[in-house]
Amino acid sequence: MAYQTLQQEYLQIPVVTRAYTTACVLTTAAVQLELITPFQLYFNPELILRNYQVWRLITNFLFFGPVGFNFLFNMIFLYRYCRMLEEGSFRGRTADFVFMFLFGGLLMTIFGTFVSLVFLGQAFTIMLVYVWSRRNPNVRMNFFGLLNFQAPFLPWVLMGFSLLLGNSIIVDLLGIAVGHVYFFLEDVFPNQPGGGRWLKTPSIIKMLFDTPEEDANYNPLPEERPGGFAWGEGQRLGG
């Protein structure tokens, strides 16, 4: 019974969020079990171009370090905000969500080449958080019960938290920058005088991922609780 309940809950997770978080957890488990090493996963343009190790274009987004606080912190935020985006502004638009993944991953890969970053998963998480926060500007957040602020400040609060932990903020800045580029091109520029929609999901992606019908038992996460934990809870203003 417990297994069936767990399986049902797992299958209730929207497909993109389920696939990405599962891939991250399995990759970390494989490293912990010493089936593979981080040296086989990290982003290295020379190995990709000269040795044709093209899997590194994907695997560098899947490894968040060994199991510990940093890994759990990233996984929680990745799961929550990826899921809320997919169930919120991207609900019924799986192809557009996949295209955002591809667009963000491509930009990060290009920028990562110049700033010598070898793992881009954390930056990708910050990108998801940034896009969600800009699309939900009226949600009030609470971080560890110490700070109260509105959602658009969340990526900057996370960057400050990384700084306090002694981590490089280059990763956070990259995620914020790529998230802002996507948000501007998708949400801001099309609504400007003389603007237009530059980001268009290719037809082949729409054909592969968009489904015409929704599951009647679909149960999305409430956006009033965006963090789901003491460091990310929130509520909508005026609610």
In this predicted structure, what is the pLDDT of residue 99?
96
pLDDT of 143 reads 77
Please give the model's pTM, rounded to 2 decimal places.
Answer: 0.84
Tell me the domains of the chain and their CATH numbers. 1-209 (1.20.1540.10)
pLDDT of residue 186: 93
Q: Measure the CA–CA gap between 86 and 16, rounded to whole angstroms.
A: 8
As averages over each run of 10 residues, the pLDDT of the chain (239 residues) reads: 76 93 95 94 93 95 90 91 94 94 95 88 95 93 81 91 84 95 93 83 89 58 47 47
Contact between 17 and 10 under an 8 Å Cβ cutoff? The reply is no
Q: Is residue 164 packed enough to be buried (19+ CB in 10 Å), middle (13-18) or exposed (0-12)?
A: exposed
